[in-house]
Structure 1
Amino acid sequence: MTPPTPVTADPFAPATLGPVTLRNRLIKCATFEGRTPDALVTDDLIDFHREVAAGGVGMSTVAYCAVAPEGRTDRHQIWMRPEAMDGLEQLTAAIHSEGALAAAQLGHAGAVANSVSNRKAALGPGRIPAPMGMSLTHKVDSDDIARITRNFAEAAKIAVDCGFDGLEVHCGHNYLLSSFLSPLLNHRRDGYGGSLEGRARLAREVLEAVRNAVGDQAAVWTKLNMFDGVGRPGPGRGGKPWSGFNVDAACATAQLFEADGHLDAIEPTAGSSLLNPMYLFHGDAPRKEFADAFHGPMRTGIRVGGPIFLKHYKYRDAYLLPLARELRKAVSLPLILLGGITDRASIQTALDEGFDFVAMGRALLREPDLPLSIQNDPSTVSRCVHCNLCMPSIYSTTRCPIRDGEVPDPLSPAGQRN
């Protein structure tokens, strides 16, 4: 295999992603901010992204922008509709005013949706558990598939009309498109199941619809699972597949996407919001805090099942790189490396290995100005300690509890930056 070609020596130089140019190669990744209580943009959400944009990223990604009301993890999330447009326009204008571009993560939560909160059935490739609503999903039929594909296209057009420069189509974490890809979750016998080509059909049709809706008005990429965190990431023994979506299937899917020609990039990700969420995050598993974020049976269930559902994975910088390397070998599309990007060394490692952009999440919750700090002082070390206490905060207002003074800072005072 030919080694990847290094992308650039300077991650802070302008870089092109499809039809748009970012001021650098750093992207604020999609993280639900919990600042939309009425499913509409608020001043709080605008201030959040303005601060991140002012902190030096090249692009800030707004999440979660559901394409349909039943596609939200709960009713407080934005769903893309005409009533949301005024706020979305104000949001993109605020991001642009700080010199960054704005991206919208478009998705349908599928079985991860809370049917009780949404007052609509969660959807899946079949009748599978939807734990947030303590129910089973409705198996989507051909009419549902046509509507959902149309919903993605309409949401994409709304996003572009509101000033978004990039669109990330969510195909990870066992949300709807990802659940169709999973052989564990998708047992359909029609054209949307069975072989990998069948299981990838819905995602491919959605990506085509999104691209047709926006043309070259925005960059389009997908967040694609490399491994669901179920079974093992490699091939099965004796040619038999493991139960979850693995890296070999991800590489084959990425090749299908590339051949279709609708994408400007892929952002590799991992883990399952249904089955194994901590595989994406690595670091501490705050089981008590997760349980405390819920009430009733859900709280009890998390307390009892936490050690199984919220597993601990040791943190290391660029922890998704070993899997992402396989995807880098499989396709020539630009790739955005996610997972443990916290300093100049991890950024440079990604670029040296042929990744075109990097995405930051938790580190920006701790320090929104981390990109500028790294640019001004390459020896800068992130103050994120990977405690993951920010994760349970998504059910109220997504934040770093250490930054907000809710818990002691383990780096203070010796680790404080001046």
Structure 2
Amino acid sequence: MTSPDPFSPARLGPKSLRNRLIKCATFEGATPDALVTDELIEFHREVAAGGVAMSTVAYCAVAPEGRTDRHQIWMRDEAMPGLRKLTDAIHSEGALAAAQLGHAGAVANSVSNRKKALGPSRIPAPMGMSVTRKLTTDDIAEMVTTFRRAARIAVDSGFDGLEVHCGHNYLISSFLSPLLNRRRDGYGGSLVNRARFAREIIEGVREEVGDEAAVWAKLNMFDGVGKPGPGRGGRLSGFNIDEACEVAQLFESDGHLDALEPTAGSSLLNPMYLFHGQPPRKEFADAFHGSMRLGLKAMAPVFLKHYPYHDAYLLPLARQLREAVSMPLILLGGITDRASMDTALADGFDFVAMGRALLREPDLPRRIADDPTVTSRCVHCNLCMPTIYSRTRCPIREGEVPDPTASAVG
């Protein structure tokens, strides 16, 4: 059977997309007042003009305490006029707009937010140099309502797609983790119990929006803590691929999602497992101040590990998820050229998601469509990572650091 062309039209749930390329969520650092800015609008308009079918806005927190800091949008009535301008700008370029809905949980900065960070248990919340408050069952019910309310605001603001963030040890992901979730009630212990929170939120979002938007979940395959292989999870390890396949099957049986977007790594414990490539240890520490800067400099080799980059680097894990479910999957992680797109689609993935490559070249999809031999100029230095605390950008593209490939061009 011939695999689809990455630039052919496709459907994601109730929505038609002009091709199979999605701009994945990469926090833009362009909302200093927790509201949409002209800079944020231009960021996504440029990406939409560059040829993707859908651009995902991150990070759309469902509640004020669910932000990694107070300079992030949280979904409320006050934000709607700006969000509408943003989705209108994306639509004007022929693309669809998606909102990544999430709650940062233990990754939230309680000092910046002036609100206690939340978790499934009392666990460290290093951004605020504190510990989380354990959610009660009443809190959990309210959180489902909070996600529903955020989904309604997003759809009423013109978003066509909703990504429920179940990755990176943010709040939902931390419930899935046997390392972070130490509960002894119906939301802890067995995998089915640990997945209950995610399933209730996803069900609530789908009930709220129906067919008004495509709904998918970003699901961790491996937290990057312990071993990812068969049968190696347990209390001393994070969420792994075996558990991810079981949770994906639960999601599929529930029937509330249009797709899954497999991801990996932990913003709390091991962020580089998501990114791969050079770890920007000095630059990451320099993005902070005071004790956080000192702590990150001391712990950088442990916290920011080095995983060699290769194109489609999450594909080996994602193939196991592909075998476990039949629902549509969106592959991210090192999608940089026509070859990686074709490989993903040939392996049964329905869409591909691009991130860092679009920071370097927002028009890369359009150029690949015109010339399949075009490859990304992203060098996987990951210097874009620390810029999320100021304004997300590629420092090489902006001329802030030398382009290591420049001497080879002539």
Shared fold per TM-score greater than 0.5? yes
> Which 4+ stretches in 1 moved above 6 angstroms?
none
Alignment pair present for 1:97 and 2:92: yes
- Answer whether contact 1:169 1:207 (CA < 8 A) is retained: yes
- Residues 14-62 of structure 1: CA deviation (Å, up to 9, x unaligned): 1100000110000000000000000000000000000000000000000
Alignment pair present for 1:248 and 2:242: yes
Among 212, 215, 220, the alignment partner of 2:210 is 215
- Answer whether contact 1:6 1:353 (CA < 8 A) is retained: no
Among 198, 206, 209, the alignment partner of 2:201 is 206
Aligned to 1:234: 229
**Which residues of 2 match residues 225-374 of structure 1 at below 5 A?**
225-236=220-231, 243-374=237-368
Q: Which amino acid aligns with 1:52?
A: V
- Answer whether contact 1:235 1:241 (CA < 8 A) is retained: no
Alignment pair present for 1:166 and 2:161: yes
C-alpha distance in 2 between matches for 1:415 and 1:268: 36
- Give 3-state SS (helix, strand or coil) of 1:73's partner: coil
- Answer whether contact 2:231 2:242 (CA < 8 A) is retained: no
C-alpha distance in 2 between matches for 1:242 and 1:135: 22
**Which residues of 2 match residues 169-188 of structure 1 at below 5 A?**
169-188=164-183
C-alpha distance in 2 between matches for 1:370 and 1:135: 42
C-alpha distance in 2 between matches for 1:146 and 1:81: 19
- Give 3-state SS (helix, strand or coil) of 1:365's partner: helix
**Which residues of 2 match residues 37-186 of structure 1 at below 5 A?**
37-186=32-181
- Give 3-state SS (helix, strand or coil) of 2:408's partner: coil
Q: 1:6 Cα shift? A: 5.6
- Residues 328-381 of structure 1: CA deviation (Å, up to 9, x unaligned): 000001000000000000000000000000000000000000000100010001
TM-score, scaled relative to structure 2: 0.99
TM-score, scaled relative to structure 1: 0.97
C-alpha distance in 2 between matches for 1:344 and 1:414: 22
- Give 3-state SS (helix, strand or coil) of 1:78's partner: coil
Among 398, 403, 406, the alignment partner of 1:404 is 398
Q: Which amino acid aligns with 1:388?
A: N
- Answer whether contact 2:20 2:53 (CA < 8 A) is retained: yes
For structure 1, which runs of at least 5 residues remain unmatched after alignment? none
Number of equivalenced pairs: 410
Aligned to 1:34: 29
C-alpha distance in 2 between matches for 1:108 and 1:380: 37
For structure 2, which runs of at least 5 residues remain unmatched after alignment? none
Q: 1:415 Cα shift? A: 3.6
C-alpha distance in 1 between matches for 2:55 and 2:148: 21
Q: Which amino acid aligns with 1:28?
A: K
C-alpha distance in 1 between matches for 2:25 and 2:229: 27
Q: Which amino acid aligns with 1:132?
A: M
How high is the sequence identity, in percent, across the aligned residues? 78
Aligned to 2:19: 24
- Answer whether contact 1:7 1:355 (CA < 8 A) is retained: no
